[in-house]
Amino acid sequence: MRYKIKNNLSKIMQEEETMGNIVTVWNEAELQEKIKQHKIDPAIIPKYKNTKFCQAEVHKGYISGTFSVISKDGDRDRANFGFVIGPHNILFIDDTGVALACINRIIKDKKWKVGSMERFLYDFLETLIEHDLRYIEDLNDKLSNVENLIVNEELDNFNDVMMGLRKEITMFHRYYSQLVDVGKEFQENENGFFSKESIMLFKLFTDRAQQLKEEAQVLREYSTQTLEIYHSQVDNVQNRIMKVLTIVTTIFTPVSILSAWYGMNFENMPELHWPYGYVAVIAASILMSVLIMWYINHKKLL
């Protein structure tokens, strides 16, 4: 697929047309065919297939890099594709369909007064993150829900849930950090491909990616606080258990003492031959236990 940047982005019907600012999208098979035909130097193609990074590298005469876009549909898979930028052309190498989807969104929604490479790149980058703030808010809602479940002691699989959320938040934080670096690389404009007036577009994108990065950082701190709340809740539960066990032990300590006392094999223990000795010991045990329970309840120790 080849597109020409004018007042909007339009598909090129003639394969050999090369005038103006051109956007090209090839899949891997098309790329290999162009390499065989010696229409492109394989040395400029970035290794994009197994990457987990968004990055841009400036070379003499071109900029190359990769995008590793995180899916927002729940599975958080990555879509990897590469790009090469020249003075008047942009090439995407993409088997995932993400680059084409962004281009189709630009064709549908964008109309420029003056089309340019910078404007296309800005809209492309913006399309990659246009709904990301909503996903950050969804993650915040999930953390808030986990916090409520912790307080209400209704969360049984906390470790699994929290580990998944923290991993997801960290992944997004790194993703936005990398996008910030890409935006700054375009801002620096080392090869002079972009006009000075248009550099502000990349600053706008960098600022927005930075804002998303900061939002992700807030979520990381929130997740740490949630962990602390969980550990505090666990400690409170353990303290309550220990308190109950201590009180139970206190209540039955007199009974244990009496049992040990009258379990001794001394001959001169008059209560052993007293007809009411057995009943008296039972009554004394009950009385002491009741008195201890009354004292605990009176002092509100339980």
Higher pLDDT, 96 or 159: 96
pLDDT at 302 over 80: no
Q: What is the mean pLDDT of residues 105-133?
A: 85
Question: Which of these ranges, 45-49, 74-78, 139-143, 211-215, has the smallest mean pLDDT?
Answer: 74-78
CB 236 within 8 A of CB 156: no
pLDDT of residue 82: 92
Would you state the structure tokens that stand for residue 264, as one six-digit string?
């001794």
- Region 256-281 average pLDDT: 76
Q: Is the pTM of this model over 0.85?
A: no
- Residue 133 CB neighbour total at 10 angstroms: 13
Q: Give the CA angle between residues 286, 288, 294 to the nearest 5°.
A: 100
pLDDT above 80 (res 14): no
Q: What is the pLDDT of residue 15?
A: 60
Half-sphere exposure at residue 80, Cβ-oriented, CA atoms within 13 angstroms: 12
pLDDT at 19: 65
Residue 13: predicted pLDDT: 66
Question: What's at 97, amino acid-wise?
Answer: G
pLDDT recorded at residue 301: 66
Percent of the chain with pLDDT over 70: 94
Which pLDDT score, from 0 to 100, does residue 299 have?
73
Structural domains of the chain, with CATH = 1-129 (3.30.460.20), 236-298 (1.20.58.340)
Residue 300 has pLDDT above 80, yes or no: no
Task: Report which of residues 93 and 156 the model is more confident about.
Answer: 93
Q: Is 255 in a helix, a strand, or coil?
A: helix
Give yes or no for residue 17 having a pLDDT over 60: no
% of the chain exceeding 90 in pLDDT? 19
Q: What's the pLDDT tens digit per position in 29-44?
A: 888 888 887 778 888 8
To the nearest 10°, the Cα dihedral for 193, 194, 196, 202? -140
Contact 116, 99 (CB under 8 A): no
The residue assigned the tokens 């993650």 is 139
pLDDT value, residue 20: 66
